[in-house]
Amino acid sequence: MRPKKTLLSAIGLGVAGVMTFGAWAGNADEEEVTLEQVPAAVKETILKEAAGAEITEIERETKNGKTVYEAEFLRDGREIEIKVGPDGTLLGREIEHEGDDEDDLTIDQVPEPARGALLKLAGRAKIVKAEREREHGVLVYEAEWIVNGVEHEAAVTAEGALLEIEEIIPVEQAPAAVRAAIAKHFGDKAKVVVEKKMIVVYEVEAKIDGKEKELLVFPTGRVHEDGDDHDDDD
C-alpha cells in the first residue's frame, strides 16, 4: 500500500513465482475488504502469516484482470505487509524499515473505523491533512482541520478510540495561570504558540489482597508507569 518498505521474497517460492510490490503500483483498482470477504484460501494464508498478530488492514487489488489481496499486521512493533494470490499463494512480504514510522495519507486512505471517528470530530470542517504513525507498536491515525482560522488536530487508534485532541488558541484565551507561567518562563515579548491539548487516559482502581491498586491505561493499551505499575507494552 505504501513505499519505503523492504521486500522479502516469499519463502519456498522460486524467483519467477514472486510478485514484486512495485509491479502493482499505478492504476490498480483497490478496495478495502474484511477478512470474512476474502476467499477461504486467502483467509487461511493471511491468518497463518499473521500468527495471531493484529490484522490492521486488508485490500483487494485488481489490475489488468488479475486480483491480489494485500494484508497488513503488526508483529514485534513492526508493520508487515503481505500479498496473497486468489488461490492462497503467498506472493511477497514487506517489512517496515526502522525509521519508517510515519506516512502522509488522504482521509480516504484512513481505514474505518478510524476514518469515521476523525470525520465525526472534524464535523463540517474539511480535513486538510492526515497521517499514520506508530506509537509503542500501535498504529495511530491523525488528522488536521481548520475552523474559523483555528487549527485543530486529533489522534485515534485504528479502532477509532480517541487518543488526544489539540487546538491552537490565542494566548489571550489561555487561563490566567497559564499566561502567568508563560510570562515567567518566556517573558512578555516572546512570540509563543499555545496549544490546548486533551489526552485520553483511563484510570482503573482495584483491590488485591486487601491492598488498593491504581492503573492508568492509554487507549492504545499502554500502561503508564507509576510506582509498582509496569508498562506491559515494553
Shared domain for 91 and 117, answered yes or no, is no
DSSP label at 38? S
Shared domain for 106 and 195, answered yes or no, is yes
Shared domain for 14 and 87, answered yes or no, is yes
Q: Which of 139, 32, 22 is nearest to 78 (CA)?
A: 139
Shared domain for 111 and 33, answered yes or no, is no
How many domains are there within the chain? Answer: 3
Q: What is the pTM of this model?
A: 0.53
In whole angstroms, what separates CA 228 from the centre of its chain?
Answer: 29
Q: Tell me which residue range forms the domain holding 172.
A: 102-199
In angstroms, the CA 79 to CA 49 distance is 13
C-alpha cell at 131: 497521517
Q: pLDDT tens, 115-141? A: 999 999 999 999 999 999 877 778 899
Q: Which of 96, 124, 151 is the last residue of a domain?
A: 96
Shared domain for 136 and 121, answered yes or no, is yes
Beta-bridge partner residues of 130: 105, 143
In angstroms, the CA 140 to CA 134 distance is 6
Shared domain for 210 and 143, answered yes or no, is no
Pairing of strands 29-32, 5-8: unpaired
Shared domain for 83 and 14, answered yes or no, is yes
SS3 label, residue 20: coil
The owner of cell 514487506 is: 94
Q: Which of 73, 96, 119 is the last residue of a domain?
A: 96
**CB under 8 A, 24+ apart: contacts of 93-100:** 93/7, 93/8, 93/9, 93/10, 93/49, 94/5, 94/6, 94/7, 94/8, 94/21, 95/5, 95/6, 95/8, 96/5, 96/6, 97/4, 97/5, 97/6, 100/4, 100/5
User: What string of pLDDT tens digits covers the 234 residues of the chain?
Assistant: 333 333 333 333 333 333 334 434 444 578 889 999 999 999 999 999 998 888 889 999 988 888 999 999 887 667 788 999 999 998 888 776 544 456 888 899 898 999 999 999 999 999 999 999 877 778 899 999 999 888 999 999 989 999 999 999 988 999 999 999 999 998 888 888 899 999 999 999 999 988 998 999 989 888 876 544 444 444
Shared domain for 143 and 65, answered yes or no, is no
- CATH classification at residue 17: 3.10.450.360
Shared domain for 86 and 21, answered yes or no, is yes
Shared domain for 128 and 146, answered yes or no, is yes
DSSP label at 182? H
Shared domain for 54 and 112, answered yes or no, is no
DSSP label at 179? H
